[in-house]
Chain A
Amino acid sequence: MLLGEENKVVFNYKGILSWVLDNIVTIIFVLFVLFGFMISKDIRMNYFLSELCDRLFRNSFLVLSLIIPVLAGLGLNFGIVIGAMCGQAAIALARYHGLGGMSGLLFCFVISFLLAVLCGYFTGKLYNKTRGQEMIAGLIAGFFANGVYQFIFLFMVGVIIKVPATHPLIMPNGIGVRMTVDLVPVENGGLKFALENMYKIPFVHALLVVALVALVILFIGYYLNKKRGEGYKNRPVSFGFNVLMCLLIASMAVYVMAAAPKLFGVSSNLNAIASNLNKESDLEAVKSELRAITSEISAIAANDDVIAPRLNAAVSDINDMIIPNLTPAKLNAVTSFIYATASDINTAAIVSSPNVMVSNFMQVRTVPVAVGLLIIGLCIFTSLIMRTKLGQDFRSVGQSQHIAEVSGINVDRTRIIATIISTVLAGWGQLIFIQSLGTLSTYSAHTQIGMFSVAALLVGGASTSRASVKNAIFGTILFNAMFIMSPTIGESLFGAAGLAEYFRTLMVYGVIGVALGLHVWKANKKNRIVVE
């Protein structure tokens, strides 16, 4: 009765206030990013979107791995750092044995899985022993595991496990793994960009596909809810809003694609040629490709008087400077020359674009499809598992351990399973992260994963007891937007881009602090004793 009355009051009089309080962290971040756009005129949309896209694909998996423990009542699992170390161990192992490509990736995923199951089991055991203090326990367990990790990587490798000192992974004195290890590019049979470069599509295409897929999912969900007799879950207003947003994004993507000058395609073709140029390339084939491109450019130049001089200059560059010099000896110089020409054509394309938006969107970097599919897969997995008996048990345990126990649910086991799943996913998330960076910073890549992922999830509107896929994705976007904007804001406000680092630290720990404070404040409010 008490609870009901309170809810009603909040709903009637303090609706907006309580909504603001519930979403204060998200609101602060949205304002921060908007503020950044307002005060800094020179931040280019294409740069912003490219960076954001890269970071989104790099970090989402890690943030998503936090959801299940939150739902199972374990709070924010700072212990994902342990999972990340498992992932890095797998990568180091693959690098040592020179594994790469598809098989190397599979090897990493399997090794990381096995290590993470083991570590997750023990972390879960620890969480069961430190009930109510799981977050602190996770944080400390992460530090402890880091110690063990360093002991293994700095000492055991070389002293106990014999390794050749000449291996590029090993320090010159033969003991320990190097601080930074460059991964072998996937073209040369390594792990660098192994997932990233599997299949890439332009940003606008990805935008269109995502919008359409989201639309289909929305309709399927609506239909399924109806068919399952859960029609009450369909809220017409939010459904309509979501459909409208999807349609808006899709039509924008279609418009950009239709309006974009063909020159963008030409420019990216040139870039592709340059990036694929190496000693083994078939130079004659490249030459004929370049000739085809020149005729394409000439055709466009004939129709557009404004940019015709630029394009003609580019054509003559290709014909006079590039093709004659395309010999193995001058490869490096030619490659950079091709890049320069491509950027010239790009500039021409921007000039000829109907508006700024189109040119901005066309310049965003390409999108790694394989990573995207993995992230979408994890989103679907997370939502599906919550529809199973196990997922319902997670929720029961998360809401009340006591009632779950009395109802006969094995609470300890359920919590351990949740921790294991989270740790395994974090390991895989770190694999994606490292292959996307291309270098393994052996002793630092994992250290801040826990803090940053937790902060991102909280920014998305999650709390220590409530989290969803939506929170994770939205949070990752917002949090990384803040990361990209902070140098610009520092530059415009104080004339020092270096302030960005302080901004970031302030925001990360501030967010976690505010979220934890709010959590305790709400819990106290709920438990406050009142005079009847």
Chain B
Amino acid sequence: MKDTLLRFSNVSKNYYGNVVLENINFEVRAGEIHALIGENGAGKSTLMNVLFGMPVIHTTGGYEGDVLINGEKVDIKSPYEAMHAGIGMVHQEFMLIPGFTITENIKINREITLPNMVSRILGKRLETLDMIKMNTDARKALDTLDMGIEEFTLVAGLPVGHKQFIEIAREIDKSGIKILVFDEPTAVLTESEAHNLLNAIRRLSQLGIGIIFISHRLDEVIDVADRVTVLRDGQLVTTKEVKDTNAVEIAQLMIGRSVTIERVHSDKRKISDDIMLSVKGLRVGMPGEMVRGIDLEVRKGEIIGIGGLAGQGKLGIANGIMGTYPARGEVIFNGKPLKMNAPHLTIASGIAFVSEDRKGVGLLLNESIELNIAFTDMQINNGFLHKFAGFTIKNYREIRKHAERMIKDLDIRCKSSLQNTGSLSGGNQQKVCVARALTQKPQFIFVSEPTRGIDVGAKKLILDLLFKLNEEYGMTIVMTSSELAEMRSICDKIIIICNGTVAGVLTPDASDADFGLMMSGSRIRNAGDAALTDKGGI
């Protein structure tokens, strides 16, 4: 047994009573590649924030339990201290300065200097840079990674794969590096780049560095890791030797919840065979949620779920069709082609949108509830307006009447319809968003992350409301969500998005392992489950 480099002992963390980590016991040995996996919000980032002493941990009351490095208890207060303790991180978004050379990036704030006349009087900061030594060091680090690129090349314009390697070179150039964290390192790489990276990671582990490998790609985890730890909802599910397990089991552990899913059933629903919305080759440039070619068909009366891990592009679909981000592709709604990148026309054609960005796009936070509810209808359909002496004026009486009906129907808890939406709770804000969308009298509605940041009771209300709209008014709903459970409770089918494309379509009652494998974009999914392909196919 090799010696343990890092150990988390009973680490817990809560943000204002909201428990995000609970009694985590986790260790990394020297020369080991330890994969850490879990869904979004499972607690991986928080665990790493604790390790790096990020300010977000300390400004919210610190953590409980102990972190031990080489068996000694440490209390890391800042990323800078973490660096001195021998912990390095290869970031998902690169921490590289494009206008600097590779050497300058590798040596940032660790420059080698030579004293000169002035620095002897005025201090170390005026010492001259020793570019020769810096270049030599950078060369050494790059050679360790088998990178032939010249160390004095500017970083701007290098391929993403190279940038990743420069980040790694910077970490291994730091003297005494013991633990290296890779956060989704292959997310932005091509297949061959990813292959090179995994080889480099193996080589680093052979140097005796303990590696924490965070990834959603289960096939990579199986490929490269020695052990795997699964987190779910802030709890450590299990730690296993990779050779004792397989991707299906890991996927199951990642998704599986003890709670059973209650499907809502209703006989009154009518799903027609008419295709209401047809999308071909949709590409959307939403930063962090790129959509790279999606085909999709929605029938009238259906409730469709769009799922997938964060950053894979599920949120881009609704945003692209609605025109909030630049998009390309063919969208046909009710038999008529939709003009892309024209939100006004899209809304006018009868599609409503409840955005995932409630505070940014969804609401005018400093305006009243009634104005928020009436706003889109006023803009698009000239509703709630009347003409007076050549001026167009808001019809306050109509707005008030309508808003009060909505407040009653949707049970928005507020003091009056004049209250600012910024002062409402998350659930009630979401209801205002839905009310605004309904005011347009849409036939079709996109709902993104309807229950994000909402407490459990309100979640149920929102889902019931959506279901009721579908049931009573035949409204077609496309719901994008990170929470599988809620989609499985009301959706007719769930489309899983991975890497900007459709990974597959699942029925709500498909197994946890199916969901887990498909979401992680594992390339081995064809190997086993034949049932998967039966349920798939649009």
Residues of A within 8 A of B (CB): 1, 3-4, 7-8, 228-230, 232, 385, 387-393, 395-396, 399-400, 403-404, 406-409, 529-532
A407 and B108 in contact (CB under 8 A), knowing A399-B98, A530-B285, A532-B290? yes
Determine whether the beta carbon of B125 is less than 8 Å from that of A390: yes
**What would 10 A/B residue contacts be, using CB atoms closer than 8 Å?**
A4-B156, A4-B157, A4-B159, A229-B132, A385-B126, A388-B129, A389-B125, A392-B129, A404-B108, A531-B328
Task: Given contact pairs A229-B131, A403-B97, enumerate 14 new A-B contacts (beta carbons under 8 Å).
Answer: A1-B160, A8-B157, A387-B129, A388-B127, A390-B125, A392-B111, A393-B109, A393-B125, A399-B99, A408-B109, A529-B285, A529-B286, A529-B287, A530-B326
Kindly provide the distance from the CB of B109 to the nearest chain A CB, expressed in whole angstroms: 4
Write out the residue numbers on chain B whose beta carbons fall within 8 Å of the beta carbon of A399.
Answer: 97-100
> For residue A2, which residue of chain B has the nearest CB?
B160
Interface check B473, CB cutoff 8 A: no
Write out the residue numbers on chain B whose beta carbons fall within 8 Å of the beta carbon of A406.
Answer: 79, 95
A389 and B126 in contact (CB under 8 A), knowing A7-B157, A409-B109? yes
Enumerate B10-38 residues with CB–CB distance to A below 8 Å. none
Determine whether the beta carbon of A532 is less than 8 Å from that of B500: yes
Write out the residue numbers on chain A whose beta carbons fall within 8 Å of the beta carbon of B160.
Answer: 1
Contact indicator per residue, chain B 112-155, by CB within 8 Å of chain A (1) or not (0): 01001001000011111101100100000000000000101000
Write out the residue numbers on chain A whose beta carbons fall within 8 Å of the beta carbon of B135.
Answer: 229-230
A390 and B109 in contact (CB under 8 A), knowing A230-B131, A406-B95? no
Q: Which of B111, B159, B326 contacts A1 (CB 8 A)?
A: B159
Contact indicator per residue, chain B 225-239, by CB within 8 Å of chain A (1) or not (0): 000000000000000
Interface check B292, CB cutoff 8 A: yes
Interface check B377, CB cutoff 8 A: no
Write out the residue numbers on chain A whose beta carbons fall within 8 Å of the beta carbon of B327.
Answer: 531
Kindly provide the distance from the CB of A243 to the nearest chain B CB, expressed in whole angstroms: 24
Kindly provide the distance from the CB of A229 to the nearest chain B CB, expressed in whole angstroms: 5
CA distance A530 to B341 in the complex (A): 12
Determine whether the beta carbon of A3 is less than 8 Å from that of B109: no
Interface check B104, CB cutoff 8 A: yes
Q: Helix, strand, loop or mixed for chain B's interface?
A: loop
Kindly provide the distance from the CB of B127 to the nearest chain A CB, expressed in whole angstroms: 5
Determine whether the beta carbon of A389 is less than 8 Å from that of B113: yes
Determine whether the beta carbon of A396 is less than 8 Å from that of B108: yes
Contact indicator per residue, chain B 147-189, by CB within 8 Å of chain A (1) or not (0): 0001010001111100000000000000000000000000000
Write out the residue numbers on chain A whose beta carbons fall within 8 Å of the beta carbon of B286.
Answer: 529
Interface check B325, CB cutoff 8 A: yes
CA distance A531 to B132 in the complex (A): 42
Write out the residue numbers on chain A whose beta carbons fall within 8 Å of the beta carbon of B113.
Answer: 388-389
Cβ-closest 5 pairs across A and B? A4-B157, A407-B109, A531-B285, A399-B97, A529-B285
Kindly provide the distance from the CB of A415 to the nearest chain B CB, expressed in whole angstroms: 14
Contact indicator per residue, chain B 82-100, by CB within 8 Å of chain A (1) or not (0): 0100000000000111111
Write out the residue numbers on chain A whose beta carbons fall within 8 Å of the beta carbon of B217.
Answer: none
Determine whether the beta carbon of B124 is less than 8 Å from that of A389: yes
> For residue B329, which residue of chain A has the nearest CB?
A531
Interface centre among A392, A406, A407, A531 (most CB of B within 10 A): A531
Q: Which of A3, A7, A389, A404 contacts B111 (CB 8 A)?
A: A389
Write out the residue numbers on chain B whose beta carbons fall within 8 Å of the beta carbon of A387.
Answer: 128-129
CA distance A8 to B158 in the complex (A): 11
A532 and B95 in contact (CB under 8 A), knowing A388-B128, A407-B108, A408-B80? no
